[in-house]
Amino acid sequence: MTDHKTATREQWLAARLELLEAEKEFTRQRDELTRRRMAMPWERVEKSYQFELSRQQWLKANAHFLAREKRAAGLGYPHRPVVYRNVAHRRALLSRPQSRRLR
């Protein structure tokens, strides 16, 4: 069992205000770090990438994507055209004849 210190209301309030100041300073530092990260320059990627997946890996990734999309639609998130276009494309791929599907 954990032993917790007990204090008067004034002692607790003083400790809480001290903790609040530390939390505020941490938030400022995190925000500054995030700003610096976002300001970093991008690196141009010249190489073209193509990922190869087995049929089972592709179906698993597709199922995860469709499930995420269904959850987003159910929670009333705003319409995301790019995401929906990808879903339609993936559904079209699934409806193709077996010989044209990924293996």
pLDDT at residue 100, as a whole number: 47
| CA dist., res. 19 & res. 96, Å (int) | 60
| CA dist., res. 86 & res. 83, Å (int) | 5
How far are the Cα atoms of 33, 34, 35, 73, 98 from residue 28, in angstroms, in the given order? 9, 10, 10, 34, 55
pLDDT digit string, tens, across residues 45-76: 888 776 677 877 777 777 777 776 666 666 55
Q: How confident is the model at residue 27 (pLDDT cuts 50, 70, 90)?
A: very high
Q: What average pLDDT score do residues 4-33 get? A: 96
Taking the alpha carbons at both ends of the chain, their separation in whole angstroms is: 56
pTM of the model: 0.43
